[in-house]
Amino acid sequence: MWLRPIISLLVFCFSFQCASYTIAVVGKTKNDSFYEQSYKGCLEFAKTRTDVRCLYDGADDYQDVRTQVLVVNDLMEKNIDALMVSTTDSNFLVKGALKLAKKKNIPVLTFDSDLLQQDSSYRIAYVGTNNFDFGVALGNAAKTHKKKSPQPICIQTGHRTTPNLNKRVEGVRFALSGQSKNRLDGTSGWIEYERCPLYTMGKREDALKQLVTIIDDVEPPIFIAVAGFAQFNPQYSNEIQRFKNKLSNDEITIISADTEMSQLDILKLGLSTINIGQNPFEMGRKGAEILFEYLVEGKRPVTDKLYLDFHYCDRSNADTCTINY
């Protein structure tokens, strides 16, 4: 009698061609709780299916465009069925990997960081934050901490060619001057510190050194990090502790993107002014759902850009402003 369920299952699978779909999740960096949350979102979707599995990979330590391409190509050699990727360099990624993905009929969805507009035909959709609006939010957060005119700011970003971070920088400038393409020159009441923008390449040690150097100035500019960068460095609290009184008195202002668990702990300690966070878990869950529907039904999403909300965290609401997975 016990053979009947097995035989029935085999007949069902032969009749309907039971398939198993592998979705790869590739962040800009692998050792990053933000992208790990996106992977967990993919796994959450996979729990609702018996025929989906998720893989996770990325450049090990920093935003290396070449490693990202190597990782994607390696995954394609392992016969993945679909790819979810956060773009470090659109041109490099398309030429080095996504053209091949298109030839192999491997659907690609971008999350967190989209391809450039001219490369958008190499992905079926983008799921994540509207990065320009996110930059505007970071810029607006600086307004209540303005002490003089023109007020200096320092923007810290990652790789020079990363699409989402460049959009955020544009958003910051737009919020503070009404234009997005040029450095702030003081005419709007805001001016960019002479050493900035700072480029970290996603290297946490460099990011923390940059932050400490800037805020240790006699009259430090308002510091705006368009991604977590320094706050993902495990030495952040130790290094910034000596500035705690100045942070409390608003003599130093640190505004940062993202609200990972380690960053919420930093906020609770009074070592960051405000953090504006995203929804990496939902990026992964929704992205996997879209890719699955495309694989099984050939169904494309209604829009090729699905924007998710962002949220605001400070010391007063750090326990309740978001959920990390």
pLDDT digits (tens, 9 = 90+) for 142-175: 999 999 999 999 999 999 999 999 999 999 999 9
Half-sphere exposure of 294 (CA within 13 A, CB side): 24
Residue corresponding to tokens 């790990």: 36
Can you say how many angstroms the Cα of residue 73 is from the centroid of all Cα atoms in its chain? 21
pLDDT digits (tens, 9 = 90+) for 87-122: 999 999 999 999 999 999 999 999 999 999 999 999
CA distances from 178 to 181, 184, 291, 294 (A): 10, 10, 37, 40
pLDDT reading at 38 higher than 50: yes
Give the CATH fold of the 19-130+279-309 domain.
Rossmann fold (3.40.50)
- Written as six digits, the tokens of 248 are 């409390």
Write down the pTM of the prediction.
0.93
pLDDT digits (tens, 9 = 90+) for 45-92: 999 999 999 999 999 988 999 999 999 999 999 999 999 999 999 999
Report the alpha-carbon distance of residue 18 to residue 301 in Å, rounded: 24
- Written as six digits, the tokens of 126 are 């983008």
pLDDT digits (tens, 9 = 90+) for 184-202: 999 999 999 999 999 999 9
- Cβ burial, residue 110 (10 Å; 0-12/13-18/19+): buried
What is the band of 208 on the pLDDT scale with cuts at 50, 70, 90? very high
Tell me the average pLDDT of the chain.
Answer: 94
CA dihedral angle for residue 240, residue 246, residue 251, residue 254, rounded to 10 degrees: 30
Statement: 131-277 belongs to CATH 3.40.50.450? no
pLDDT reading at 2 higher than 90: no
Report the alpha-carbon distance of residue 307 to residue 302 in Å, rounded: 13
Backbone angles phi, psi at 85, to 5 degrees: -140, 140
pLDDT digits (tens, 9 = 90+) for 261-300: 999 999 999 999 999 999 999 999 999 999 999 999 999 9
Report the alpha-carbon distance of residue 321 to residue 302 in Å, rounded: 30
Instruction: State residue 61's pLDDT score.
Output: 81
Q: Letter for the amino acid at 97?
A: A
Q: Is the peptide bond before 150 cis (omega within 30 degrees of 0)?
A: yes
Question: 112 in the Ramachandran plot: left (φ > 0), alpha (ψ -120 to 50) or beta?
Answer: left
What is the band of 12 on the pLDDT scale with cuts at 50, 70, 90? very low
What is the band of 15 on the pLDDT scale with cuts at 50, 70, 90? very low
Q: Letter for the amino acid at 146?
A: K
Report the alpha-carbon distance of residue 192 to residue 184 in Å, rounded: 5
Strand 274-277 and strand 311-313: the pairing is antiparallel
Domain with CATH 3.40.50.2300 in the chain: 19-130+279-309, 131-277
Residue corresponding to tokens 């490693």: 67
Residue corresponding to tokens 């699978």: 13
Where are the extended beta strands (E) located within the chain?
Answer: 21-27, 52-58, 82-85, 108-111, 125-129, 151-157, 190-192, 198-199, 222-225, 254-257, 274-277, 305-308, 311-313
Nearest to 263 by CA among 245, 247, 280, 275: 275
Report the alpha-carbon distance of residue 218 to residue 226 in Å, rounded: 23
pLDDT digits (tens, 9 = 90+) for 241-261: 999 999 999 999 999 999 999
List own/partner pairs for 174-180 with CB under 8 A and 24 or more apart: 174/132, 174/135, 174/136, 174/139, 175/135, 175/136, 175/137, 175/138, 175/139, 175/140, 175/142, 175/143, 176/139, 176/142, 176/143, 180/132
